[in-house]
Amino acid sequence: MGLIIYVNGEFVPEERAMISVFDHGLLYGDGIFEGIRAYYNRVFKLKDHIDRLYDSARAILLDIPLTKEEMAEVVLETMRRNGLREGYIRLVVTRGVGDLGLDPKKCKRAGVICIAASIQLYPEEFYKKGLEIVTVPTRRNLAEAVNPRIKSLNYLNNILAKIEASLSGAIEAVMLNAEGYVAEATGDNIFLVKNGVLLTPPSHVGILEGITRNTVMDLARARGIPVEEKLFTRYDLYTADECFLTGTAAEVIPVVKVDARVIGDGTPGSITRTLIQDFRELTKTDGPLIFPE
């Protein structure tokens, strides 16, 4: 692909973009990340992603060796060096190089990586027809253990759920929390519509507080659609009028079947379709410019 990657202060060709085998990001999943999108020469919701990255860092006592302003500039400059006006950006901050023990005190400086690439989108037919998803046995991590609000490099919880979904022939998994309430998908938040009200689980119950999720709630409120952050169960999903997922990669994507139960009339609902349109409009104007216009 011939990408230019940012690694610890330098922009290098991808063949030379390396980190140590003693980096605790690799050895222990000790680190954090963000997945960010750029559209129309702008980095969408960049400030929100940078803020969430620094909140994740604070939660795991990780000192990021750059200011937020410098980090935002790293993202923009990585796009520029690759000549990209749209695409997918992965920002990673690792605990850094230590020894084989897990004590992070041995890691003197956090590692910072930024990768910008073109994105492999879900086929457009999924947005038109909707996804069929399943609930899986693996429960979402307890907020009291590794809080899912931390966007950490330890994604095994989600990967196991993704494998379980794939094994049953589904493209995505709905994860429940330990109490059996609906939490989120493996890399997306979940919404349902019932009687004209938009519902999504509250962020304190063990989900990632998605930036697309928050954007969609704002867009719905701007249209006068009532929005509630409330716990709900599999039953509520099965009997919903509409359902969709939100995430940086998937944007807003309709769901038409959950555990073989048909949602609504089996086609993407009207509120879902409206929010997809509104979201796509917003991507045209939100975020700082990459190249001057």
Site residues (vs ligand PXG, CB under 6 A): 35, 158, 184, 187-189, 208, 210-213, 246-249
Which helix (H) or strand (E) segment holds residue 190: the answer is strand 189-194
* Minimum CB distance to ligand PXG, residue 150 (Å): 10
Instruction: Specify the residue, 3 or 249, whose C-beta has the smaller distance to ligand PXG.
Output: 249
Nearer to ligand PXG, 158 or 283 (CB): 158
Residues in the chain: 293
| Catalytic residue check, 151 | yes
Q: How many CA atoms lie within 13 A of 125 on its CB side?
A: 1
Task: DSSP for 27-51, please give it.
Answer: HH--EEEEEEEEETTEETTHHHHHH
DSSP 3-state of 137: coil
How far apart are CB 167 and ligand PXG at their closest, in Å?
18
| Smallest separation, CB 195 to ligand PXG (Å) | 25
By beta-carbon proximity to ligand PXG, the closer residue of 98 and 210 is 210
What are the residues whose beta carbons fall under 8 Å from the beta carbon of 242, sequence distance 6 or more? 192, 193, 254, 263, 264, 268, 269, 270, 271, 272
| Partners of 242 in the β-ladder | 193
Minimum distance of ligand PXG from residue 155's CB (angstroms): 7
Euclidean distance between CA atoms 34 and 114, whole angstroms? 10
User: Which one from 151, 162, 194, 257 is the annotated catalytic residue?
Assistant: 151
Closer to ligand PXG by Cβ: residue 111 or 210 = 210
Name the residues annotated as catalytic.
151
